[in-house]
Amino acid sequence: GEDVEQSLFLSVREGDSSVINCTYTDSSSTYLYWYKQEPGAGLQLLTYIFSNMDMKQDQRLTVLLNKKDKHLSLRIADTQTGDSAIYFCAEAGGSYIPTFGRGTSLIVHP
């Protein structure tokens, strides 16, 4: 199976919370990342979490890490239409080179 897995699509209503889930296989992962890609653009690092942390919050974004289950999630509070994009989960070990999931397309509708 793939090293980093995430569901391909998520649809939410504007104003609701979005939760994007990700699982990874490498138990030696040091950094877990969330990237955002808007249409036709490169990747933008949204946030990251060290493997020794359980949670990180940054304004509307909350990252939860369950290291035992190798499960990472990104919660976007008060989702806006401008949040519509593809969100990539990634993990990296000591080389700090991310291995990416296939991306989750978030669609926000009014």
Partner 1 sequence: GAVVSQHPSRVICKSGTSVKIECRSLDFQATTMFWYRQFPKQSLMLMATSNEGSKATYEQGVEKDKFLINHASLTLSTLTVTSAHPEDSSFYICSAREGGGPVGNEQFFGPGTRLTVL
CA distances (Å), 41 to each of 15, 44, 107, in order?
25, 9, 17
Residue 83 φ then ψ, to 5°: -85, -10
| Binding flags for partner 1, 38-77, as an x/- string (CB under 8 A) | --xxxxxx--------------------------------
How does strand 9-13 pair with strand 104-109? parallel
Q: Supply the minimum distance, in Å, between the C-beta of residue 101 and partner 1.
A: 6
Residue count, binding to partner 1 (CB under 8 A):
20
Footprint of partner 1 on this chain (CB under 8 A)? 2, 4, 8, 31, 35, 40-45, 88, 96-103
